[in-house]
Structure 1
Amino acid sequence: MAYQRGRDLRLESLLSSRPDLERHLASLLSSSRPLLSIARSDSSLLLSSASSPSPSPSPSPPAAAGRPDFVGCLTSLFKDIVLAVQENDETLRELCSALRRGRCRLHHL
């Protein structure tokens, strides 16, 4: 009996937090779409420019003393963007999964 009451309380707690989770998910989805779109277009542009042959191939000039080279900075920035997109996608997947689990629990009541 006490076990069932504990489960009921936990379920009530989860169900009461659901509207907040859905609101946060909707906010995250709406704010992430433009950012993901920009990141995808920028990464596509970077990939296409990096993979296309340059009209006059020449070795990259060495970086000036104390200044990192442009390609290195661009590569680092691109990696950061890709990592941010991957982390954002994983967060969205986790939120969607949590919402699905919450909906499944509601259907089984």
Structure 2
Amino acid sequence: ELLAPLIPNASRGRPRAEDRRVVNGMVYKIRTGVSWRDLPERYGPWKSVYTRFRRYAIDGVFTRALQQIQARADAAGDIDWLVQIDSTIVRAHQHAAATGRKGGSTARTNRTITPSADPEEA
């Protein structure tokens, strides 16, 4: 009932497969990770499910559905919008630590330099 108003109507051509069956096929594919060609026949032809999935993605059906679900959950008070991220538990990419070393040695970066009138003293 949530997706029904978001799904575009078929305007011409042969009658398409039942919307609920095709959407259930999409959900099955996403949840199980099965390839499109290996979808069970109870969801209709795999190519129909795939074609409709692509069309819905391009038309923004899934984005609008997520926005509606989020708005309903927010109105019901089911979403806590306060988020805190502690950087001590967020892992960096394995090469992230090496980025500061490119371009030469960093041994002299901690030396304190004081201005002097005589350049030889520095």
Q: TM-score range by the shorter chain?
A: under 0.3
Q: What is the TM-score when the length of structure 2 is the normalising length? A: 0.25
Computing the radius of gyration from Cα coordinates, the structure with the larger value is 2
Q: Going by fraction, where is helix more abundant, 1 or 2? A: 1
RCO greater where, 1 or 2, for CA within 8 Å and sep 6 or more? 1
